[in-house]
Amino acid sequence: MVKQIRRKNQYYVYIVECTNGTYYTGYTNNLENRIK
């Protein structure tokens, strides 16, 4: 899984390609919970 060190105000930006060819973008401060 993802190992992370908790830091104040740390965010991750992600881009996912959907099955219809479009892209979904988002951001989170807890990547491990987001990918569950």
User: pTM of this prediction?
Assistant: 0.59
Token pair, residue 7, equals 């830091």
**How many CB atoms neighbour CB 34 within 10 A?**
13
Q: What's residue 8's pLDDT? A: 72
The three-class DSSP label of residue 12 is strand
Contact yes or no for 11/28 (Cβ under 8 A): yes
**How many CB atoms neighbour CB 16 within 10 A?**
9
Model confidence pLDDT, tens digit, residues 1-36: 566 666 678 899 999 999 999 999 999 999 889 888
Task: Tell me the H-state helices in 1-36.
Answer: 31-34
